[in-house]
A and B are shown apart, each in its own frame.
Chain A
Amino acid sequence: MSDSLPVLRSDGRGHADRAAAFLRDEPHAHWHDQAVWFVRAKRDRAASAVPEWERLREVASRIKAHTQARLADYLEEFERKATAAGATVHWARDADEHNAIVHRILSERGVTRLVKSKSMLTEECHLNPYLEARGIEVTDTDLGERIVQLAKEPPSHIVMPAIHKKKEEIGDLFHEKLGTPEGLSDPTRLTEAARAHLRERFMAAQAGLTGVNFAVAETGGFVVCTNEGNADMGTSLPPIHVACMGVEKIIPRLEDLAVFLRLLARSATGQPCTSYTTHFLGPMRGGELHIVVVDNGRSALLAREQYRRALHCIRCAACMNTCPVYRRSGGYSYTYTIPGPIGIVLATARGVDGHASLPFASSLCGSCDDVCPVKIPLHEEILTGRRDLAERGLQPMSKRLGMRLAALVLRVKLLYLAAGATARFLGRNLPRGVLYARWNPWGRQRELPPMPRETFRQLYRKERRPRV
C-alpha cells in the first residue's frame, strides 16, 4: 500500500524549529498553554456530568467502524433521500474538482458575494483563494475565522481559529479593518463590532456555504452545529445553500446522531450542546440546496488499515486541547490544515508533502487517545507514522545510522557494557565545556544524569553471587 503513496519529503527539523520559534516568546507560550488547557478543563467538567461517557465513546466508535465498512451504501442512500427532498448532490474526487463544482454552482447563478460558515474541508481544499481569484468575495462568518481571514492567516485551531491571538491584537486588527476605536480590546465590544459588520455581509450575500457535521443516511438530511448562528444566518437569508462534506461525515440513523451530538459539543467546548444544531433537509422556500460530497484522499486513507480509524474524527479538537505539545507550539507549527494529534495522523497517513517531521511532534503520552470521543488510537497511529517513514527510508540518515548502531551495540552484551562504561567515563571526565557544547541538545537546558562508576549489575554481583 505504502508504495503507491506520494513521497513524504523531509521538512528537516520542521516542527521542532517552528515550535522553538513559538517558544521564544515564553510568556505568550504560557498564555497559549493556559488558554487551551482551559478548554480541556471545561471538557472535563462537561464529560463528568455524563455518567455513561465511556460507554458513549465506545458506542460512537463502533457506529463509525460499522459505517466505514458500508460507506458507499450509506452515501447512496443519503443521495437518494437528499435528492428526493429537493437537494442536488455533487461528487468530487479531489480538492480541484470540489473547488470547480462550487465555483460553477456560484458563477452559473451570478453569485459574487458568498458568506461561509466554518468548514475544515474547504480549508483543506483551499477554496477561498480559488473563488477569490475568480471574482467572488468570500466572507468567513464564524468570528474566529473572520478574525484570521482579516489578518490573512489560516486558522490555528479547528474549533477556535483565532485562539493564538490576544484580544489586544484583535483590537488592533479591528481598528484597522472595521474602524473600531483605537485601543479597544474588550471582547464584548469587539464581538459587537463584528456582529454589525457581518450582518451587513449576511444581508448582502447571494449564497451561503456551510460544512457538514453529520449527514444522516436514513433521512437524507444533514446537521450543522454552531454557537454563533452564522450557519443559520448564511443559509436562511440568501436563497442558495452549498454544503460541502467529506465522505466520512455520513452516519446511518437519527438515533446514531444522538450519540455524536452528546459527545461533540462537550468534547469541543465543554458545552452540553451547541446553541444551534440545525437539520437541513431540502432547500429553503424558493431556494436551492447543493451538497458536494468529497473524497480527496479519504478512500485511500480508508484502505490503510493502520490509519483508517482516523476517519472516525468528528473534528471536536479535544486532542489539540489536551496535547501538551500543541498547547506549547501553536497550530501553525504543524503547517497542515488540521494541527495537533489528529492532524499529524492525517498528514502522515495521507502522505502530504513536506510534513515528515510531524510524527515526531508528540511525546506519545497518549492523552489524545483517552480524550477522543470516538476513540481514535491517535498515539498508536502517530507511532505507525514514524514506522512508515523509517520503512520508506524517509528518516534522516544520521538517525538511521545512529539507531542501527545502537541496536547492534545493544544486541551484544559485551559491546553494551563497553559502550556504557566508556560513555560514563567520558561523562565523568570530560570538561563541562565539551560535555555541554552545541552537539548536546539534552544539555542546553538540562543537566546530564549522574555518571556512576558502577552499573547496577556490578553492584548486584557484589552484593551476592549471581543466581542465573
Chain B
Amino acid sequence: MKVALFIPCYVDQLYPQVGLATVRVLEKLGVDVVYPEDQTCCGQPMANAGFASDAAPLARRFLEVFGGFEHVVCPSGSCASMVRNHYDALIPGAPGLEAVKRATYELCEFITDVLKIGRIAGRFPRKVGLHQSCHGLRELRLGSSSERLEAPYSKVASLLSSLEGIELVPLARVDECCGFGGTFAVVEEAVSCMMGRDRLADHVKAGAEIVTGTDVSCLMHMDGLARRAKAPLAFRHVAEVLAEAMP
C-alpha cells in the first residue's frame, strides 16, 4: 500500500523528528511512503483566524499536491480535520475535493481504520499521559469525548496501550483543551497559558513521565510552559512513542 505523507508546516520546520518517526512507523507496518515535496501548509492558521479568502488558495494548492493519492496520512489531527471538515467552507465543490477528503487520515486512525491494525508489537515501559487534542477528538472522533454519552473508545489510547510495559496514567480531566488553539495561544495569551499549566498539573499529579498526543502544536505549547516552569515532563508525539517502541 502506498501513502502520501502530509507533514504540517510547523512539523517540517520545527519538529522534523516527528515526521521521520511517522515514516518509520508506517514503513514498519509495511506501508510504502512517499513525500510530495511541493507541500507547504494546509491553510489552517488563516482559516481559523477567519481569513477564508487567504486560506482558500492554500486549500486549492493542497488538492493539486495530494490529488490522485489513494491515502494521505498526517501526524496531526488538527490538520487532517482541516482538510476533511473545513475545506468545504473554503473551496466548496472544488473538483477532486471529495476524493482528497476521503483519502486524508490522521496517523493513528489510518493505522486502526485503514490498515486495520489494533495492536502494535513493541515495548515502551514508561508512564505516559495522553493529551487528547481537541480537533482530533471532537472533529475527527478519534475517541469518545467526555461530553457525549457513548461507549468509551480511543483509537490513540488503544494503540498505545497495546505496547508492552506502557502505563497510561488516569487524568482528572480526560479531554480538556490545553489552550493552544492556533492564534488563540497569542491573542488570548493569559487564558491560553493558564489552560496549559492546568493540563500540566493534571499530568504531573497523575504521575506521567511523558505526555504524548496526536498534535505537536498542543505539545509545543505545553512543552514551552513546562520548560519555563521546569516541570518534570517530557513531550513526545505519538509517532515518536510508537517508533521508539517498535523493534
Contacts and interface: CB of A to CB of B under 8 A. Distances in A.
* Direct contact between the two chains A and B in their complex (CB within 8 A): yes
B7 interface: yes
B68 to A, nearest CB: 11
A107 interface: no
Interface string A419-453: 01001100000000000000001101111111110
Nearest to A53: B149
B198 interface: yes
Nearest to A416: B40
A54 interface: yes
Contacts of A399: 49
Contacts, number: 226
Interface in B46-73: 46, 48-55, 57-58, 61
Contacts of B53: 390-391
B150 A54 contact: yes
Contacts of B7: 456-457
B150 A44 contact: no
Contacts of A279: none
Interface in B128-175: 134-135, 137-139, 145-150, 173, 175
A362 interface: yes
Contacts of B187: 13, 16, 360
Q: Is the interface of A mostly helix, strand, loop or mixed?
A: helix
A388 B51 CA distance: 9
A199 to B, nearest CB: 39
Of B14, B35, B190, most buried by chain A (CB within 10 Å of CB) is B190
A5 interface: no
Contacts of B175: 367
Contacts of A369: 138
Contact of B50 (A44, A329, A390, A463): A390
A466 B227 CA distance: 36
Interface string A375-413: 000000001011111110001000110011011001101
A266 to B, nearest CB: 11
A123 interface: no
Contacts of B117: none
Interface residues of B, number: 77
Nearest to A43: B147
Contacts of A365: 134, 138, 177, 181
Of A395, A410, A448, A467, most buried by chain B (CB within 10 Å of CB) is A410
Nearest to A49: B149
Contact of B138 (A54, A367, A441, A455): A367
Interface string B186-223: 11111111111010000000000000000000001101
A370 interface: yes
Given A328-B194, A364-B181, A468 B37 contact: yes
B12 interface: yes
B16 interface: yes
B38 A445 contact: no
B147 A322 contact: yes
B141 to A, nearest CB: 10
**Looking at chain A, what size class is its interface with the partner chain?**
35 or more
Contacts of B16: 452, 454-456, 458-459
A404 B221 CA distance: 24
B161 to A, nearest CB: 23
Nearest to B177: A365
A191 interface: no
A107 B146 CA distance: 51
B189 A441 contact: yes
A387 B181 contact: no
B184 A403 contact: no
Contact of B149 (A26, A54, A363): A54
Given A16-B187, A459-B16, A364 B35 contact: no
B191 A329 contact: yes
Nearest to A409: B40
Given A16-B187, A366-B138, A468-B4, 20 more contacts: A47-B149, A360-B188, A363-B184, A364-B134, A364-B182, A366-B137, A367-B175, A386-B48, A391-B52, A407-B54, A407-B55, A407-B58, A410-B9, A423-B13, A442-B189, A445-B193, A447-B223, A455-B16, A456-B16, A463-B23
Interface of B: 4, 7, 9-16, 18-20, 23, 34-38, 40-41, 43, 45-46, 48-55, 57-58, 61, 89, 134-135, 137-139, 145-150, 173, 175-177, 179-196, 198, 220-221, 223-225, 227-228
20 contacts: A26-B194, A360-B187, A364-B184, A366-B145, A370-B138, A383-B48, A386-B50, A388-B50, A391-B52, A407-B46, A410-B40, A413-B40, A423-B13, A446-B224, A448-B224, A450-B14, A452-B13, A456-B11, A456-B13, A467-B34
Q: Top 9 closest A-B pairs, CB basis?
A: A386-B50, A363-B181, A446-B224, A456-B19, A365-B177, A370-B147, A366-B138, A407-B54, A456-B16
